[in-house]
Structure 1
Amino acid sequence: MKINWGTAIVIAFIGFIAFIMYFVISMSTDSKYNHDLVTDDYYQQELKYQNDINKVENAKKLSENITWKKTEDGILLAFPKDLDITSIKGKVFLYRPSNKQLDFEIPISLSNHNLLIPDNRLLDGRWNIKIDWTYKDEAFMYKDQLSY
């Protein structure tokens, strides 16, 4: 059977459309390609975003902000030296953009101006850190990306 060029173009279009539809369906149904948002309550977090901006601005007004460094024991967070450590309350949230099962949160409890996040909880790769803390009823926030 001989196929003319018009029929060949139609067959090529149908083949191309079938090829594209196969990939669209397989990408949207396969659990290997997970399309989760960073947080489950993304839209509620978006409404609270202005509060986070205000907290970050408060932290920038301090004489020194929180610093971190990588040690053999883990990540060492250093809070400002001019603050009374008994008045610092809050939490440290580390989340891994590539795998939400590795996310964890620890409360801030200081015996000196440093807080150690143990190495055994951190896998190699990118981590986002968010420290939400208060000092004498004033709210602060520190955000950064860690490459561990």
Structure 2
Amino acid sequence: MKLNWGSGIAITYILFMVAVIILVVIFMNQDVHLVTDDYYAKEIEYQQQIDKVKRTKLLNEQPEVTFNNGVFMVSFPRSVKNIINGEIQIYRPSDSNLDKTVEIILDAENRQSIEPPINKPGLWKVKMDWMRNDTNYYNEKIILSN
């Protein structure tokens, strides 16, 4: 069977349309994880966040975060003994289902351990937002677990 140029154009056009339809179906089924659902309100409040980070950088000692044996260990400096309140969020950029937020409850050594929802290797962000003496602070650490 011999194809003429008109048939070749029609076959090419049909194959292109099938490829476009397949790509549309694949892209529509992708799961989209937003960083936060209320991103517009968070953007407006961002100047306060910048001020918190600046205050944290002015501290003599910074909070430390380590990841050992599937547990995040957050250590606050001795100078931060009287934390009034705050929260720690472990944030997984690749899957919002693995995010976890806990209230800061330090032990006698100014440490807190946090277990992630699942011990899965990858990139985590540990976000610490706390208040001491009516002053807000914020610190963020990136942890790569394996």
Q: 1:107 maps to what in 2?
A: 103
Compared CA separation, residues 120 and 144, structure 1 to 2 (3 A)? closer
Q: TM-score, normalised by structure 2?
A: 0.83
- C-alpha distance in structure 2 between counterparts of 1:113 and 1:61, whole Å: 22
Q: CA deviation at 1:6?
A: 4.0
Partner-residue secondary structure (3-state), 1:144: strand
Q: 2:19 maps to what in 1?
A: 19
> Residue 123 of structure 1: which of 119, 125, 135 is its match?
119
Could you report, residue by residue, the CA deviation over 1:9-50 in whole angstroms, capped at 9, with x for unpaired residues? 34313311321222113320x2xx201212111222122122
Structure 1 residue ranges, 4+ long, deviating more than 6 angstroms after superposition:
none
Q: Are positions 1:47 and 2:50 aligned together?
A: no
Structure 2 counterpart of 1:16, one-letter code: F
Q: 2:134 maps to what in 1?
A: 137
Compared CA separation, residues 88 and 65, structure 1 to 2 (3 A)? farther
Q: Are positions 1:5 and 2:29 aligned together?
A: no
- C-alpha distance in structure 1 between counterparts of 2:114 and 2:129, whole Å: 19
User: Are 1:74 and 1:116, in contact at CA under 8 Å, matched by a contact in 2?
Assistant: no
Could you report, residue by residue, the CA deviation over 1:113-146 in whole angstroms, capped at 9, with x for unpaired residues? 5322244645222211110011111111011221
List runs of 5+ in structure 2 lacking aligned partners: none
- C-alpha distance in structure 2 between counterparts of 1:147 and 1:96, whole Å: 11
User: Are 1:86 and 1:110, in contact at CA under 8 Å, matched by a contact in 2?
Assistant: no
Higher mean displacement: 129-138 or 5-14: 5-14
User: Are 1:72 and 1:119, in contact at CA under 8 Å, matched by a contact in 2?
Assistant: no
List runs of 5+ in structure 1 lacking aligned partners: none
Identity among equivalent pairs (%): 31
Q: 1:75 maps to what in 2?
A: 72
User: Are 1:89 and 1:134, in contact at CA under 8 Å, matched by a contact in 2?
Assistant: yes
Structure 1 counterpart of 2:47, one-letter code: Q
